[in-house]
Amino acid sequence: MNPTLYINGVWRNSSNGGRHEVRSPHDGSLVASVAQASIDDVMEAIAAARACFDSGVYSSWSWTQRSALVSKIADLLERDASIVAKKESDDTGKRLIEAEYDVADVVATFRHFAALGLVEQDHVVDVGIEHVTSRIVHEPVGVCSLIGPWNYPLLQIAWKVAPALVAGCSFILKPSELTPQSAIHLIKLIEEAGTPAGVANLILGPGSVVGNALTTDPRVDLVSFTGGLTTGKTIMVGAAPTVKKLALELGGKNPHIIFADADLDAAIDNAVTGVFLHSGQVCSAGTRLIVERSIHDRVVKEIVRRAADIRMGGPADLTAETGPLISESHLKTVEKYVAAGIAEGAKLLIGGKRSERPEHAHGWYFLPTVFDGCNTSMHCVQEESFGPVMTIEVFDTEAQAIAIGNDTIFGLSGGVWSRDTDKAARVAGALRHGTIWVNDYGPYRPQAEWGGYKQSGIGRELGSHGLGEYLEIKHIWTNNSPSRSGWFHDAVGGES
């Protein structure tokens, strides 16, 4: 049996023999069998990461050396891109071409952080005292638990692994139990690149067991987590007793606002992509369409026409535009969400059920779904379905559009469409969300920060802040002309 846990530089199986079968979301077939770590394995992985970090075997490497390592990993990922994309597509059920785009984004992420590691981080500040040199230096935060979701498995962990490596941290990586294969391959490449044993450790298994141990252990300094809001709150509680640093990327319920003066053809096309891409299993999906009343009927008619036309299929279907949901349990969650929406008065215009096509019979296919007549008091507007479900709300004024767009506990992303650039800029400025697209929806680049306001998370990934999460900042004050402090009186005075 293939050993798939990586602890202290050694590939091995679980100490209690546990295994987990990964099933295709497309047809339920077996795609992989992987080791499922025991708590003892987790303890060993944390011990290895801690000992490695404290020894300085990697954390003392120069920024240049660490950047070169991360750059080498990017090269290896590029070399193995098609292998990695196939694994990702098998695990997630997404089309191969989509997985290939994701791997290209992963390579770009590693290259971004490798480049950032070469930019001088430390600096001297002027504290206004001539004989004092005040230096601000950046040091690795320590041992990190990196926990990822299943929707963009490799990409989401790359946003953590690449900066952690550049910063000089040691880590224990835990991908989602539903999608472990690309993480296993990434760790093989990290090993091949010459990373010292103990820096990168891989643990597989369910979050409630191994994830919990990784987020509560006192030897862990930082937890970086991407996943659902409920899990994020549990992690905050578990991390509190040892005051761990936290970087949390949680859910979103993202407003996509279309004004009547927008380029409607482009706006509608982006609205369809924004919500139905990857069957809505995207944290930044534009699930809340907020439309100016005068164009409501036209926009809705066109969206329904386009939703009806979306071609669904599995990884190998070259004509498919979107794929299955990740699991039966997730499909049932989306079904319940839709039923609740109907019960609370949302008007179902299309979809709302699983696909009945024979070729989808063994997979988790849910039809693109549109609810009209929605408002901010409804659960379907406030809660994340993480499925292909759009809710439509209307507004009459700019102020209303902003108020509706901000009426959510989340704050991850949003979009605004208008030909009036001043108006679009005002709305973009007023929306309390971490990323706003103006006359666009969805693109991101590793050079720009990503993260959420409000309950969408804590901290930022990507950009330069995405490296900062993995660094401690130390201030070193050097007095070049020492003298007495003179604060307390000294009866004797002078040198003894």
Catalytic residues, which ones? 249, 283
With CB under 6 A as the contact rule, the residue among 4, 176, 195, 435 that binds ligand NAD is 176
Helices (H), 117-263: 153-167, 181-192, 212-216, 229-239
- Residue 306: CB partners within 8 Å, gap ≥ 6? 268, 269, 272
Distances (CA, A) of 468 to 149, 172, 222: 22, 19, 12
Q: Which of 249, 372, 383, 469 binds ligand NAD (CB under 6 A)?
A: 249
Q: Which two tokens stand for residue 359?
A: 């070729």
CB closest to ligand NAD, residue no: 207
Smallest gap from Cβ 110 to ligand NAD, in A, equals 18
Closest to 171 measured CA to CA, from 205, 138, 227, 217: 217
From 48, 167, 235, 307, residue interacting with ligand NAD (rule: CB under 6 A): 235
Tell me if 388 contacts ligand NAD by CB under 6 A: no
Give, as ranges, the residues between 187 and 206 that touch ligand NAD (CB under 6 A): 206
Q: Closest CB to ligand NAD among 267 and 381?
A: 381
* Residues from 413 through 452 that contact ligand NAD (CB under 6 A): 452
* Cβ at position 87, least distance to ligand NAD in Å: 17
177 is a site residue for ligand NAD (CB under 6 A): yes
Q: Residues touching ligand NAD: how many (CB under 6 A)?
A: 31
DSSP E strands in 293-353: the ranges are 347-350
Q: What kind and span of H or E run contains 257?
A: strand 255-258
Decide whether 221 or 302 has the Cβ nearer to ligand NAD: 221
Question: For residues 342 and 69, what is the distance between their CA atoms, to the nearest angstrom?
Answer: 53
Task: Check residue 252 for interaction with ligand NAD (CB under 6 A).
Answer: yes
**Is residue 42 a contact residue for ligand NAD (CB under 6 A)?**
no
Nearer to ligand NAD, 184 or 250 (CB): 250
From 57-65, 185-193, 228-236, 342-350, span contacting ligand NAD (CB under 6 A): 228-236
Q: Does 133 bind ligand NAD (CB under 6 A)?
A: no
Rounded to 10 deg, the angle between the 181-192 and 63-79 helix axes is 130
d(CA 282, CA 260) in angstroms, rounded, equals: 27
Candidate list 8, 15, 212, 376; residue touching ligand NAD; CB under 6 A:
212
Question: Which of 25, 207, 363, 459 lies at the binding interface for ligand NAD (CB under 6 A)?
Answer: 207
Distances (CA, A) of 47 to 8, 11, 147, 149, 450: 9, 16, 18, 24, 31
d(CA 284, CA 378) in angstroms, rounded, equals 20
- What CA–CA distance (Å, rounded) separates 350 from 300? 11
For residues 252 and 351, which CB has a smaller minimum distance to ligand NAD in the complex? 252
Among 226, 263, 216, which residue's Cα sits nearest to residue 415? 263
Does 226 sit near ligand NAD (CB under 6 A)? yes
Instruction: Out of 13, 67, 151, 322, name the contact with ligand NAD by CB under 6 A.
Output: 151
- 224 is a site residue for ligand NAD (CB under 6 A): no
Q: Which of residues 338-367 bind ligand NAD (CB under 6 A)?
A: none
424: burial class by Cβ within 10 Å (0-12, 13-18, 19+)?
buried
3-state helix, strand, coil in the chain (%, to 5): 40, 20, 40
Contact 263, 419 (CB under 8 A): yes
**Interface with ligand NAD includes 208 (CB under 6 A)?**
yes
**Binding flag, residue 174, ligand NAD (CB under 6 A):** yes
**What residues make contact with ligand NAD under the rule CB under 6 A?**
147-151, 156, 174, 176-177, 206-208, 211-212, 215, 226-228, 231, 234-235, 249-252, 283, 384, 386, 412, 452, 457
